[in-house]
Amino acid sequence: MAAVQELKLLGAVSGVSPYVIRVQMALAVKGLAHEYLPEDLAHKSQLLLDSNPVHKQVPVLIHNGKPVCDSPIIVQYIDEALAGNGSSILPADPYDRAVARFWAAFIDNNLFPSCIGILEARTEEKKAAKLEEALAALQLMEGALVGCSKGKPFFGGDAVGYLDIALGCYLCWFKGVGDMAGATLLDAARTPELAAWAARFGAAETAGSLVPGVDKVEAYVNTVLYPKWNAAAAAANN
Amino acid sequence: MAAVQELKLLGAVSGVSPYVIRVQMALAVKGLAHEYLPEDLAHKSQLLLDSNPVHKQVPVLIHNGKPVCDSPIIVQYIDEALAGNGSSILPADPYDRAVARFWAAFIDNNLFPSCIGILEARTEEKKAAKLEEALAALQLMEGALVGCSKGKPFFGGDAVGYLDIALGCYLCWFKGVGDMAGATLLDAARTPELAAWAARFGAAETAGSLVPGVDKVEAYVNTVLYPKWNAAAAAANN
């Protein structure tokens, strides 16, 4: 069983990519040692270009020389292929697994784009609409938490699981976007279960310690995202 | 093992939703009988609204009263949870599974949006750019086919598998979009392996017979998509 596993994770120097953080959390939950290689995404390494020639994006997990790309796929691969000393990540029951995958996709495709949209919005009207969207999505996650956790501390039950990681990798972004937009996204009054879950997740020995500080998110938004959005808006006006 | 399985599939009356077709193909590969309930998406049934309250979209598979949504998730659920008399859908090896999931996501998020973009484009310049994108994506799928099939007839090897279904559900769209745009997307000169695969897939006893006619795609584009895009363009100009 215990063959040698050489694991390299291509990450980002910014330290705030939720997708990289997600993979780091999965490796932590499974108790898997790995070499972390942070990429400067303005000057991508040949290893990154060779490992993910289609998207040229991080994260990439390289297992014994073979690359795996896309964070939800990497997390499932870690759970299915790698023998660690930690707990399983995906639920054992196929229906619970389908439900976890559904909400994980909802978080990536709906919840987070709405959050980022609050900052990207160029009018107050659009900003308010995106905030409302994000709050509605978090309200749905409140219901998902109640359904999935079945009274236990995490989406995954007694231990941090797939959906905990899928959502938890965005915790610094919820806080950072909220601070920058003058709003509270994870509000104990509006979504009490989710706010309590976030506190538990942040305190969890495995994954919680990997949530970066809000200052890093703000620095990334100011130095990377705002200039990118401004350039795109200028180009669209020409 | 062989508990009674009540399976209902909520589909669409148009008959051209690639996501519904994908689930029908998965059910066919596994040899699973089911009740097919086509939805008029202009007047969604209460069953659809109750089964997929988040996205209110088809397909939804209802297994013994429990709904599963999102076609890639449904196909994995079918493979993991349902005992049929057909073959497995996902590859047995975890690395092969990760590769299949990667390309399936690429097809949904890159290849098909480029194809649809050819029709949605409102300038010749944009149309040409989208066509080039689509052809480049198909070129990548040619390489993926060579890598995944390892000389066997299908992405999944000797039998139709996950990636065959993920791509095969779009076959009528490649043909329909190509016909409407005056281009050949699946071109035997440019992507000979993929063109030969498409012919094999179309002839396959299980999934191939579920590829609808191009006339249905054209009718859907003309009666649903063009009016929708025209309305959106008119709104954007106001």
ipTM, two decimals? 0.95
CB contacts, 8 Å: A70 with chain B: 101-102, 105
CB pairs under 8 A between A and B: 57
Per-position pLDDT tens, chain A of length 238: 456 689 999 999 999 999 999 999 999 999 999 999 999 999 999 999 999 999 999 999 999 999 999 999 999 999 999 977 778 999 999 999 999 999 999 999 999 999 999 999 999 999 999 999 999 999 999 999 999 999 999 999 999 999 999 999 999 999 999 999 999 999 999 999 999 999 999 999 888 889 999 999 999 999 999 999 999 999 888 7
Give the minimum alpha-carbon distance from A63 to chain B in angstroms, rounded to a whole number: 10
A77: nearest CB among B68, B76, B98 = B98
Give the minimum alpha-carbon distance from A35 to chain B in angstroms, rounded to a whole number: 20
- Write the DSSP symbol of residue A225: I
Residue B151, Cβ density class (10 Å: 0-12 exposed, 13-18 middle, ≥19 buried): exposed
What's the confidence (pLDDT) of residue B20? 98
Q: Which of B66, B73, B47, B82 is nearest to A103 (CA)?
A: B73
State phi, psi for A13 to the nearest 5 degrees.
Answer: -60, -25
pLDDT digits (tens, 9 = 90+) for B194-203: 999 999 999 9
CB contacts, 8 Å: A98 with chain B: 68, 73-74, 76-77, 81
In angstroms, the CA B86 to CA B37 distance is 23
CB contacts, 8 Å: B56 with chain A: none
pLDDT class of B37 with cuts at 50, 70, 90: very high
Helix axes B171-181, B112-120, angle to 10 degrees: 30
pLDDT class of B92 with cuts at 50, 70, 90: very high
What's the confidence (pLDDT) of residue B43? 96
Average per-residue pLDDT in chain B? 94
Percent of chain B at pLDDT exceeding 70: 98
Give the minimum alpha-carbon distance from B213 to chain A in angstroms, rounded to a whole number: 31
Q: Do A95 and B102 touch (CB under 8 A)?
A: no
pLDDT digits (tens, 9 = 90+) for B64-85: 999 999 999 999 999 999 977 7
Q: Domains, chain A, ranges and CATH?
A: 7-81 (3.40.30.10), 94-216 (1.20.1050.10)
In angstroms, the CA B19 to CA B9 distance is 12
Mean pLDDT (whole number) for B138-152: 97
Percent of chain B at pLDDT exceeding 90: 89
pLDDT digits (tens, 9 = 90+) for B10-33: 999 999 999 999 999 999 999 999
What length is written for chain A?
238
What's the confidence (pLDDT) of residue A206? 83
- CA dist B37 → A46, B6, B47, B179 (Å): 50, 13, 10, 30
State phi, psi for B109 to the nearest 5 degrees.
Answer: -95, -20
DSSP assignment of A117-137 equals HHHH-SSHHHHHHHHHHHHHH
What are the structure tokens assigned to B52, written together?
Answer: 């997929």
What's the confidence (pLDDT) of residue B3? 60
What's the confidence (pLDDT) of residue A84? 72
What's the confidence (pLDDT) of residue B182? 95
Q: Do B106 and A66 touch (CB under 8 A)?
A: no
